Amino acid sequence: MKNNTINKKEIEKFTKIAEEWWNPHGKFKPLHKFNPIRISYIKESIINEFKLKKKVKPLEKIKILDIGCGGGLLSEPMSRLGAEVTGIDASGKNIEIAKYHARKNNLNVKYFCASPERFDTTTKFDVILNMEIVEHVKDVDFFLQSCSKLLKKNGIMFVATLNKTLKSYFFAIIGAEYILRWLPIGTHEWDKFVKPNDLVSILKKYDLKLDSLDGMKFNLLKDEWKISSDKSINYIGRFIKD
């Protein structure tokens, strides 16, 4: 029987560099660059789907679960937007860093060291964030099934990951890790990348239907990420639970 999605090698990899989470010039620099477009995309999607008012804290009363939250790079902005945020991560060190940083900034984010299949909660969430995590788990199918159980009916699940293409191998691994040194070598394994069609098929089994699928592209000249129609490297899917 399946009971675990934790890939110990991946957890060890990120635990070793956990101290770097909040350093915008450190090993997580690409995620800091990535964050503004992720925050904007998620915020606008939630506002539109739940017909919320556009105000200073538009996500008030929305319960969000950030899975594989790391040091809290996405959990904290969601909290600042008014959401009730829970972050889980299989690395205890990541959770320590996240808790410390949230306390320091007087943010009420609940953090737990857990994977979705072992997260002991009775709460069903309005929104689940699976951002840059599915390419690091042991069993993508079981992982997404476990996530689906934590989502309310009509809730939204966001999944951002890397497409399994020749282009993603050259840009996300050869380019980002070996040439530009944006990421530590070994951050990604190409065989763990997930094709959009495969992701859609898996989630369909667990009552999640595709609402939209967008590419995310880095503009070298502007030094920023933008939403794009090109899904050949990075992409983000928005799924609604039936």
Q: Angle at the Cα of 136 (from 130 to 142), degrees rounded to 5?
A: 70
Q: Which 8-state DSSP code applies to residue 114?
A: -
For the whole model, what pTM was predicted?
0.94
Residue 72 lies in a domain: yes
Amino acid at 182: W
Residue 3 lies in a domain: no
Instruction: Write down the residue that tokens 């530590």 correspond to.
Output: 184
pLDDT digits (tens, 9 = 90+) for 84-106: 999 999 999 999 999 999 999 99
**Dihedral angle over CA of 167, 171, 174, 177, nearest 10:** -150
Residue 1 lies in a domain: no
CATH of the domain at 209: 3.40.50.150
Rounded Cα–Cα distance for residues 75 and 62 (Å): 13
pLDDT digits (tens, 9 = 90+) for 46-81: 999 999 999 999 999 999 999 999 999 999 999 999
- Please say if the pLDDT value at position 1 is more than 70: no
pLDDT digits (tens, 9 = 90+) for 153-183: 999 999 999 999 999 988 888 988 888 788 8
**Burial zone of 166 (CB within 10 Å; 0-12 exposed, 13-18 middle, 19+ buried):** exposed
Residue 27 lies in a domain: yes
Residue 161 lies in a domain: yes
What is the number of structural domains in the chain?
Answer: 1
Residue 47 lies in a domain: yes
Residue 85 lies in a domain: yes
According to the model, what pLDDT value does residue 128 have?
98
Residue 195 lies in a domain: yes
Domain of residue 111, residue span: 8-241
SS3 152: strand
